[in-house]
Amino acid sequence: MSKINLLSEDLINKIAAGEVIERPASVVKELMENSLDAGATQINIEIKDSGKELIKVSDNGEGMDEEDTKNSILRHATSKIKNSDDLFAIHTLGFRGEALASIAAVSQLSITTKQKDKIEGFNIAIEGGEIISSGVIGAEQGTIIEVNNLFFNTPARKKFLKTDPIELRHIIDVVTRYTLINPTVSFKLLHEKYLLLNSPAVKDLQTNISTIYGTSLAKELMEINYVDEKITITGYIAKPYQARNDKNQQFIYINNRWVRNEDISEAVYDAYHSLLFVNKHPIFVLNLEIDAQQIDVNVHPNKSEVKIEQKKEVQEAVFKAVKETLEKNNLIPTLDLEFEQQQTFIPTNKNESNHKNTLNKQKTKYNFERSAQTIFSLNEIKEQEERITDQLDEEAYYTPEEEVYHSEQEQDNELSGNVKLPALKILGQIHKTFFVAETEGGIVFIDQHVVQERVLYERFMQQYLNNNIAVQHLLQGEIIELSAVEKAALLENQEKLQELGFNLEHFGENTFILKTIPTIFGRTQPKNLLFDVLTSLVKEKNKLEQIQEEIITRMACRASVKAGDTMTIPEIQKLLEELKQTKLPYTCPHGRSILIKLNVDELEKKFKRK
Ligand code: ADP
Ligand code: MG
């Protein structure tokens, strides 16, 4: 007996729908994309019961005529591409013609739409893919799509939905993604009776980030503007000290489409590299404009993955764009004594008067789901209380009439400023741990150990990358005895060790003579330095090339002045001059801050002078 069945159209549609419409947020995403493709400048999203009861998206876009409305819910029905050539040059967010058909298959759907030049609009109601009513109706220009009782006829799918707050969170994420990259479009997201997001049309991305995430983040952002023959990268990145414990504020777009892309993300992390503390994640919003023919969006039904033909080049461009921006900006964190709790969950909107209320009410709803995140926020609060935030007025250092510090340069304790480090008047050392210096608008605290770590790290890296490590010959050579494991690690990596400046001769059995060490780390006991390297090699069970950076960082740490070492002003002066020469004078190679600024403003506030 034959065993193959031909599936019914209804079942085929439900299977296909499963790929596109995974959860309520997928519906929101597809409908928003359609509104944006229709040229809407105003998109309102209304949700009930985290999208399970109702998802209603209204736009003022171009609308559809009667025939198109009926066709729009058929599978593979699209106005956006015609032939296979179009498929490889996609300029719209949609193109597969699957979304409305998929939504129609698993919900009770209603579409009301009117084109600009028409007097009347048109409405259809669909249930489980079948049109149950249609007719002329009075309507405003644009399209209103109502999705009721999602998954009413696919109970299995419904069962797999997460708790309400999680589904709602997904919806907020999706709406935020498209809201961010479309500043000139106005968006509203209403859940039950709460307005969760209200983002009016504004002129540019920075203003938009500011309405969504608040001014304290937005005003510290650094602009990215990178152009070469193949790619244009625009957007904003935040300063390293604003990095977060999660990745919720990382957005990558390709040709205005939000995408998930590890390669690009990796390039951003590489560019921040030693500026980030462990487990900290940078904030970025990047839009890559790439020739539509160089990318393939048709990888997955949800269109959030994109294949890039020249991946390597794109990665390099992103790396360069971010790195250059970091290198030309002042990245010193400022201490904020009046710590303001940062809104981390729901996008904030300062324009909305009753917004705070809304947030509070919503919060009680999310709290149980958010416990993990709340812990994050508390940590963040603690960290932030300890150091940082905004208010760094970069320009203040460069206005010509403000050259107080520059004019007294002859004095020993003056350090002239440059783009990255402000002019500093060194006041001294405190607790044998920190330097204190006066600077334009405030005082700066500097961690002495970390300064030297950065200096040594960069110098050594420079020499290392140029294959030009300066070595110091040990007069007598130092006898080193190794365990069998250490000996094996050493023998396996002897050549590499030589490249790092360690020359060793085998003396017999497990004994070696250390002849040279890298000059830069000369302050250290040669033996200890070598053992540091060997310990890493043994512990990591790794080849040297994979951990050389870690090793260099470690050596820099060992060779640096420690907390507890007394330093004179000329010594401090010299060290800070050296810091000034580095590319990134803000953090140690592990990402710990070197300098923290306290503004006089803040002090005045604390002393109630203001
Ligand atoms: P796709 O977006 O891939 O073309 P959809 O199933 O999402 O497929 O939509 C089918 C078609 O319906 C679209 O190509 C478009 O012509 C029309 N359409 C859908 N939503 C809207 C809308 N909000 N405004 C105008 N036309 C729309
Ligand atoms: Mg679509």
Pairing of strands 194-199, 121-127: unpaired
Nearest-atom index, ligand 1, CA of 145: 23
Of 299, 327, 355, at which residue does a domain stop?
327
Binding site membership of 79 for ligand 1 (Cβ less than 6 Å): yes
Q: Do 245 and 177 share a structural domain?
A: no
Q: Do 47 and 151 share a structural domain?
A: yes
Residue nearest atom 23 in ligand 1 by C-alpha distance: 35
pLDDT at 411 over 70: no
For ligand 1, mutation pick of 27, 34, 37 (most atoms within 8 Å of CB): 34
Binding site membership of 97 for ligand 1 (Cβ less than 6 Å): yes
pTM comes to 0.74
Between CA 129 and CA 108 the distance in angstroms is 8
Give the model confidence (pLDDT) of 361-386 as tens digits. 333 222 222 222 222 233 333 343 33
88 DSSP 8-state letter: T
Residue nearest atom 7 in ligand 1 by C-alpha distance: 99
Residue nearest atom 16 in ligand 1 by C-alpha distance: 79
Higher-scoring residue by pLDDT: 554, 374: 554
Ligand 2 mean position, distance from CA 76 (Å): 10
Structure tokens given for 469: 């490590």
Give the model confidence (pLDDT) of 569-583 as tens digits. 889 999 999 999 888
- The confidence score (pLDDT) of residue 544 equals 62
Ligand 1 mean position, distance from CA 74 (Å): 11
- The confidence score (pLDDT) of residue 12 equals 84
- The confidence score (pLDDT) of residue 382 equals 37
> In this structure, are residues 40 and 145 in contact, taking their beta carbons and an 8 Å threshold?
no
Mean pLDDT of 18-22: 87
Between CA 155 and CA 561 the distance in angstroms is 66
Mean pLDDT of 67-73: 96
Q: Tell me if 353 is assigned to some domain.
A: no
Q: How confident is the model at residue 524 (pLDDT cuts 50, 70, 90)?
A: confident
Which ligand is located closest to the Cα atom of residue 38? 1
286: nearest Cα among 314, 246, 244: 314
Give the model confidence (pLDDT) of 446-482 as tens digits. 999 999 999 999 888 888 888 888 999 988 888 988 8
pLDDT at 353 over 60: no
Of 165, 199, 233, at which residue does a domain stop?
199
Nearest-atom index, ligand 1, CA of 96: 3
CA 422 to chain centre: 27
pLDDT at 200 over 50: yes
Binding site membership of 352 for ligand 1 (Cβ less than 6 Å): no
Q: Do 221 and 150 share a structural domain?
A: no
Ligand 1 mean position, distance from CA 44 (Å): 17
Q: Tell me if 221 is assigned to some domain.
A: yes
Boundaries of domain holding 551? 400-610
Q: Do 228 and 151 share a structural domain?
A: no
Mean pLDDT of 485-508: 86
Q: Tell me if 362 is assigned to some domain.
A: no
Q: Tell me if 373 is assigned to some domain.
A: no
Q: How confident is the model at residue 531 (pLDDT cuts 50, 70, 90)?
A: confident
Q: Do 43 and 137 share a structural domain?
A: yes
Q: Tell me if 2 is assigned to some domain.
A: no
551: nearest Cα among 501, 514, 594, 506: 501
With a pLDDT cut of 90, the percent of the chain lying above it is 47
Q: What is the DSSP string of 171-205?
A: HHHHHHHHHHH-TTSEEEEEETTEEEEEE---SSH
Q: Do 83 and 29 share a structural domain?
A: yes
Q: Do 83 and 226 share a structural domain?
A: no
Q: Tell me if 537 is assigned to some domain.
A: yes
Torsion 520-524-530-533 (CA) sign: negative
Which ligand is located closest to the Cα atom of residue 42? 1
Q: What is the CATH number of the domain that holds 251?
A: 3.30.230.10
Q: Tell me if 204 is assigned to some domain.
A: no
> In this structure, are residues 447 and 432 in contact, taking their beta carbons and an 8 Å threshold?
no
Which ligand is located closest to the Cα atom of residue 77? 1
For ligand 1, mutation pick of 41, 78, 91, 110 (most atoms within 8 Å of CB): 78
Higher-scoring residue by pLDDT: 170, 353: 170
pLDDT at 359 over 60: no
Lowest-confidence region among 31-45, 254-268, 463-477:
463-477
Q: What is the CATH number of the domain that holds 558?
A: 3.30.1540.20
Q: Do 522 and 434 share a structural domain?
A: yes
Type of residue at 282: P
Lowest-confidence region among 198-202, 213-217, 540-544:
540-544
pLDDT at 57 over 90: yes
Q: Do 234 and 167 share a structural domain?
A: no
Of 199, 234, 260, at which residue does a domain stop?
199
Q: How confident is the model at residue 18 (pLDDT cuts 50, 70, 90)?
A: confident
Lowest-confidence region among 279-283, 308-312, 359-363, 579-583:
359-363
Higher-scoring residue by pLDDT: 384, 133: 133
Burial class (CB in 10 A: 0-12, 13-18, 19+), 531: middle
Binding site membership of 143 for ligand 1 (Cβ less than 6 Å): yes
H or E element at residue 285? strand 284-290
Angle at 214 between CA 209 and CA 220, to 5 degrees: 75
Between CA 79 and CA 143 the distance in angstroms is 15
Lowest-confidence region among 99-108, 360-369, 490-499:
360-369
Binding site membership of 64 for ligand 1 (Cβ less than 6 Å): yes
Q: Do 577 and 438 share a structural domain?
A: yes
Q: Do 260 and 194 share a structural domain?
A: no
Mean pLDDT of 32-52: 97
Q: Tell me if 363 is assigned to some domain.
A: no
Number of domains forming the structure of the chain: 3
Binding site membership of 96 for ligand 1 (Cβ less than 6 Å): yes
With a pLDDT cut of 70, the percent of the chain lying above it is 86
Q: Do 220 and 180 share a structural domain?
A: no
Q: How confident is the model at residue 543 (pLDDT cuts 50, 70, 90)?
A: low
Q: What is the CATH number of the domain that holds 155?
A: 3.30.565.10
